[in-house]
Structure formats: structure tokens, C-alpha cells
Homo-oligomer: A and B are copies of this chain.
């Protein structure tokens, strides 16, 4: 990576001496963001840091522009500066980012630009057409790209590591089994999946639990891949992949499942999603929604929401309940798996880094750096507790066919 970074940095240009005012501005900024034990390096090579006690890494600004941008609008400019190579992170990447996140006070004022940004939409509104456009921008950029660093089944959601030493491959299988056990799938049942990615969970449910699945997704690339793979694996009688919006789900089902779609639904559509489930779920049906979440309501991160996941929103648990409470669905079990997502993302980043040369050939150096920051930054956000991962199991309120305890989830 070093040569790329140097090239990018020099391309952005080292402009002039660092003034004493700029040094003062940096000290004031460090104070605002909680004086993290990280060294900041300006383009003249001098270090500025709040705490001499320990330092987990260095943030290097290769030029004035990236530095001043960061002072004005840190939430967007740090990511943009890292992407174009004018900001560098030295030391353990994820640990450094986690240290920064942990230092920043919750209610810090990120300046006028940051405040304005929070109230501007971060993508197209999630109408049927807008959602398609938002999803296209992340998920349709090429199956070959995702194959480089996801597991063999192409599961692009939080894994479930039964122990911290488990591999990503095993942990994605374990996650799918964990979800299926929670749902207590029975052979012959009909499952609807909202947002099926490359179709791994649908195939897994059909293969191991003997159910039939109708799986919806608006990403054309993903649906094509999923259909082809189901045919190749002889599962196309059991699994039907449908390129359509969750709002257009029809039919009646024993089970509703959605793993990692809610982040793209948009808060304004939670009640609609609840209505879709209510319309499609049988009386003795049950469901599970797996989503990134928050400990309290907060806007989506400015950089991630604009550059990586347009139109996305991460809800608090109470906000998620807007799906369930209007229809009096009964919440049976909520499990928070945030440390599993921190590890999943760490595993993805390791594979991504190993393939970065290939990725750069497919796209460019900026793309590689942006995706490094997305994967590493999200891992840090889950590790620090900025982000949560909630699995919510539910059924209809009058349905008493529930297991006596949860111990069946922990038996083989």
C-alpha cells in the first residue's frame, strides 16, 4: 500500500509551512474530540498530540486542504481525505479508529457544516424507485468484487462465531443455523425472505431445513447470481428468487425473515414494513429481523451514509419496534451480536487487504481506500459500541406455540 499512498498524497500537494494558528486550531480540535491517545501529524512532519502517555497510532495530514476540511466538517472530510490519500492512518488501523470513536464525546458539536449535513438526505428517498437506485450503488458494483473477500456463500451480513477462534466461513454457516433454529423451521413450510443478498440464507434454509423459500431483492446482480447458483445446486425447485421490492411481497407464509435489509428500508417505511409482514404472515407464523442498530436514535454517519450506503438509516431498538408494535407482534427474543459484527468486518478487511491489488485494477486506488475505511471503521464502531446488531424474533401475539426455554438454540 505504501507506494499508492505516497503517490496519492503527493498528487494532493503539500502546500506551504504549518502556521502556529493551524497548530493551535488542531490542539483545539483535539480537545473537542476528547483528546484521543493518537498522534496527529501535519504536513511539515511535526506531531501534535494530547496525551503523551500512550499512543496507539498516527493520523497524518499530507496537506493543508485535507486538514482544514477536517476542521470544518470532520464527519465527512476525514473519510474523503482518507479515500483520496491526503489523510493517512499509521498503526493498527481498526484499533486506531476505535480509539478515536471511544474518545469523542457523544454530544460533540461537529460545526455548522456537520449540523447542516445531518439534516440533508443522504441518498434518494426510499420510494420503490429511489430504493432501487440506492441499492444499485452499493450492491450492483460487481459480484466478482464481492467474491474476492466474502465467504464462499457470499453472506454479506454479521456472522455468528460460536467461539472467537472460528473462521469466517464457519461463522457464516453458524449464523444461518442460528437464525433457522430461532425460527424453528419445519420441513415443508413456506418462508418469505425480504432482502436476500446473493441468496445464501434461502439456499441454506432449503438445503438443511426442507422449507420452500420465496426470496425478494431489488439488486439485479444479486438476484441473477442467486438464481444461477440455486440451479447449479439443484435447489431451484425449493427456492424462488424474485427481483422485486419487499413492499410488493404477495402470498401467505409460515415464516418471515430479513437479515440485513432494514438498514436500507428507511425509518419512514418501518410501519409499511410492519404492514407487509402483517399481511403475509399466517396466524401461527413467526419472523426474525436482523439489523444494525443503535443504543439511542442518531442520524446515519455522514461519510458512510453518503459515500458507501446512500439512503441508509440505522435505528435504535425502540425505533425498530415501530415495525412490530402497531400490529401487536410479540417480541420473543432480542440478541445483540455487536462483537460478532466487529469480528466479521475485521475478517472481511483482512481478506479485502489481501485482494487490494486486484480491487485496484477493477476500480481505482480511491475506491480501495474508501472501502478499507468503511470496513475498518464499521468494525471499530461495533467494537466500541457505537453500533449494535440486533436479532429480533417475533410472532403474532395470540400464538403460544413457542419453545419453553431458549436452550434448544445451544444444543446441536
Interface residues of chain A, those whose CB is within 8 Å of chain B, are 102, 106, 160-164, 295-297, 316-318, 321-322, 324-336, 338-339, 383-386, 388, 390, 396-400, 402, 404-407, 409-411
A–B pairs, 27, beta carbons within 8 Å: A106-B328, A161-B404, A163-B404, A295-B325, A295-B328, A295-B330, A295-B331, A296-B326, A316-B325, A317-B331, A318-B321, A318-B325, A330-B385, A333-B334, A333-B335, A333-B336, A334-B334, A339-B404, A383-B400, A385-B396, A385-B398, A386-B397, A406-B406, A406-B410, A407-B410, A409-B410, A410-B411
**A343 nearest in chain B by CB position:** B404
Quick one: which of B325, B334, B406, B411 contacts A331, CB cutoff 8 A?
B334
Are B410 and A397 in contact (CB-based, < 8 A)?
no
Beyond A295-B329, A331-B390: 20 further Cβ-contacts under 8 Å? A160-B405, A161-B404, A295-B328, A296-B325, A296-B327, A317-B321, A317-B325, A330-B338, A331-B336, A331-B388, A332-B336, A334-B334, A336-B402, A339-B402, A385-B396, A386-B397, A406-B409, A406-B410, A409-B410, A410-B410
Instruction: Please determine whether B321 and A400 come into contact, CB atoms closer than 8 angstroms.
Output: no
Within the complex, the shortest CB–CB distance from A277 to chain B, in Å, comes to: 14
| Assembled-state Cα–Cα distance A62/B164 (Å) | 67
Whether B330 pairs with A388 at a CB distance below 8 angstroms is yes
Query: How many Å from the CB of A164 to the closest CB on chain B?
Result: 6
* Closest chain B residue to A330, Cβ basis: B295
User: Considering only CB atoms, which chain B residue lies closest to A408 in the complex?
Assistant: B410
Q: A102 and B398 in contact (CB under 8 A), knowing A295-B324, A321-B317, A329-B295? A: yes
Task: Let me know if B333 and A296 touch, CB within 8 A.
Answer: no
Distance from A187 Cβ to chain B, minimum over Cβ atoms (Å): 25
Which of chain B's residues has its CB closest to A399's CB? B385
Contacts of A316 in B (CB 8 A): 321, 325
Considering residues A329, A338, A411, which has the most beta carbons from chain B within 10 angstroms of its beta carbon? A338
In the complex, the answer to whether A164 meets B404 with C-beta atoms within 8 Å is yes
Q: Please tell me which one of the listed residues B322, B333, B385 contacts residue A397 in the complex, with CB atoms under 8 A apart.
A: B385
Point out the residues of chain B lying under 8 angstroms from A390, CB to CB.
Answer: 331
**Complex alpha-carbon distance, A332 and B293, angstroms:** 12
Distance (whole angstroms) from the CB of A339 to the closest CB of chain B: 6
Residues of B within 8 A of A396 (CB): 385
Please report the C-alpha to C-alpha distance between residue A384 and residue B398 in the assembled complex, in whole angstroms. Answer: 6
Q: Is the CB of B410 within 8 A of A385?
A: no
